[in-house]
C-alpha cells in the first residue's frame, strides 16, 4: 500500500500466495529468490534456527544479496545471533539490523508496530522509509544485538505488569470485592 516493490517468501507457500492476493506484489519459492536484486530484505520468523535457515541456509537470502543491501531481522531472537549475522553479513558488504517488534499482527496490519533496532544509523536511514509503512515508531538503540536486548526489557516489563495485575485482582477477590465489577 506504501508503493514499495515487494516480493514475499513464506515457508508455507500458500501463505505467500494469499498475502500477494490480498496486498499485491509477487512471491518467490525460496528466500534467495525473494532477496535477489533487493535493496532491503525483511525477515520475521520463529526463532534463532529459523533465522539462520532463512538467511544463511542453502537457499538463504544472504546468497542472493548484493553489497550495499540491508537485511533487517524482525524476529524476536537472541542478541548473540544478531551479532553473528552482523559479522557474517558485514564481511560480505551487506548491512544488518536486528529489529524485533512490539504490537503483534494487528500492529503490523495497521502500521502501528514499535521497532527496537540494533545496528548503524546509515542503514537505519535507508531502511526507515519502508519500516515507516508498518511501524509508528522505530529507534536505533546501539550496535547489532541491542534491538534484541531492548525487546527483552520490553518483555520483562510486560511480565511485571501482568504479574502486578494478577496480584491486585487476587487481593481484591480475597478482600471480598467483586472481581468483574472491579475490572
User: In sequence order, what E strands does 13-147 have?
Assistant: 26-27, 40-43, 70-73, 95-98, 101-102, 113-117, 135-140
- CA distances (Å), origin 51, targets 43, 111, 170, 182: 8, 23, 40, 44
R_g of the chain computed on alpha carbons? 19
Our answer to whether residue 151 is catalytic in this structure is: yes
Kindly name the residue from 17, 36, 128, 151 that is annotated as catalytic. 151
The burial of 181, by beta-carbon neighbours within 10 Å (0-12 exposed, 13-18 middle, 19 or more buried), is given as exposed
Backbone angles phi, psi at 17, to 5 degrees: -65, -40
128 grid coordinates: 526507515
Residues with active-site annotation = 151
Amino acid at each position: 500500500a506504501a508503493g514499495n516493490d515487494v516480493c514475499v517468501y513464506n515457508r508455507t507457500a500458500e501463505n505467500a500466495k494469499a498475502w500477494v492476493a490480498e496486498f499485491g506484489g509477487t512471491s518467490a519459492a525460496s528466500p534467495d529468490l525473494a532477496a535477489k536484486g533487493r535493496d532491503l530484505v525483511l525477515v520475521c520468523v520463529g526463532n534463532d534456527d529459523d533465522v539462520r535457515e532463512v538467511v544463511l541456509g542453502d537457499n538463504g537470502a544472504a546468497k542472493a544479496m548484493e553489497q550495499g543491501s540491508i537485511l533487517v531481522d524482525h524476529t524476536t531472537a537472541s542478541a548473540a545471533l544478531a551479532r553473528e549475522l552482523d559479522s557474517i553479513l558485514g564481511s560480505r558488504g551487506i548491512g544488518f539490523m536486528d529489529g524485533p517488534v512490539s504490537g503483534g499482527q494487528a500492529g503490523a496490519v495497521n502500521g502501528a508496530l514499535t521497532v527496537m533496532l540494533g545496528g548503524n544509523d546509515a542503514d537505519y536511514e535507508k531502511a526507515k522509509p519502508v519500516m515507516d509503512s508498518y511501524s509508528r515508531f522505530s529507534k536505533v538503540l546501539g550496535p547489532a544485538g541491542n534491538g534484541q536486548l531492548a525487546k527483552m526489557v520490553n518483555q520483562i516489563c510486560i511480565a511485571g505488569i501482568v504479574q502486578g495485575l494478577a496480584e491486585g485482582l487476587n487481593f481484591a477477590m480475597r478482600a471480598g470485592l467483586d472481581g468483574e465489577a472491579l475490572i
